[in-house]
Amino acid sequence: MTTATFPDRAGVERIVREALAEFLPSAERGLPLIRRVDLLRPGRPEGAAAEKLAVNISARHLHLCRADLEALFGPGVELESERALYQESEFAAKQAVSVIGPRQRMIPNVRVLGPLRSATQVELSFTDGVSLGIDLPVRISGDHHDTPGCWLMGPKGMVELARGVIRARRHVHMGPGDAEGYGVANGDLMNLRIFSDCPMVLEGLVVRVGAKMKLEAHLDTDEGNAGNLPKAAKVELYK
């Protein structure tokens, strides 16, 4: 983390005007994560726990470390929960920041998700990356090797992020029981079929097994919109 000096006032105002004109209408549409629930559960053994699959569209967002949170929002500040997310202890915070790319283009109102992490990470779609001028690598969360950076602007300051801007690789969270039911292990790959008016199969969802994980697949906005996930009749997770 490097806390940098501000650009000149005229430059910041120009960036803000451009961003508001292009991005604000979409940014006002709400918090990230649109959930669909699956009723088709192939591969489950008889008598297995009847937990349903949630498939969420994970809109652009970021995770902050303590130092960057305080640089952006002020010393001693804590994340304030706006609403709980699907996984236990995770939440969408009231705080949001502006993400600025190398083209001096900006996306405002990018939601911070909690709790805090050891390293700051920005998760965008390919479409966001093209707009900002960032060539996004596809990474599992937390893998920041050879990743680009960006500027973050909050109400109390700016942070120059040296790395950590990614397109999150599509993945599915599950507990040990679900992993056993599907016959998969942590790090395996699965497929997700979307039944909609734009049917599609997404391959290569990385399985992420955790003791307290609920069964949930994460797609980004490009992937969810391509399959018209919000209007899907059902989805199917399979090997």
Q: Which pLDDT score is estimated for 90?
A: 96
Q: Which pLDDT score is estimated for 144?
A: 97
Q: Which pLDDT score is estimated for 210?
A: 96
Long-range contacts of 228-231 (CB under 8 A, 24+ apart): 228/194, 228/196, 228/197, 228/198, 229/34, 229/36, 229/55, 229/57, 229/194, 229/196, 230/34, 230/36, 230/57, 231/196, 231/197
Q: What does pTM read for this prediction?
A: 0.81
Query: For the residues 8-17, what does the mean pLDDT come to?
Result: 59
Q: Is the pLDDT of residue 43 over 90?
A: no
Share of the chain above pLDDT 70, in %: 79
Query: For the residues 24-44, what does the mean pLDDT come to?
Result: 42
Q: Which pLDDT score is estimated for 104?
A: 82
In tens, the pLDDT along 79-100 reads 999 999 999 999 999 999 999 9
Residue at 211: amino acid letter: A
Q: Is the pLDDT of residue 204 over 90?
A: yes
> What's the rounded Cα separation, in Å, for the pair 116 and 144?
17
Q: Which pLDDT score is estimated for 12?
A: 61
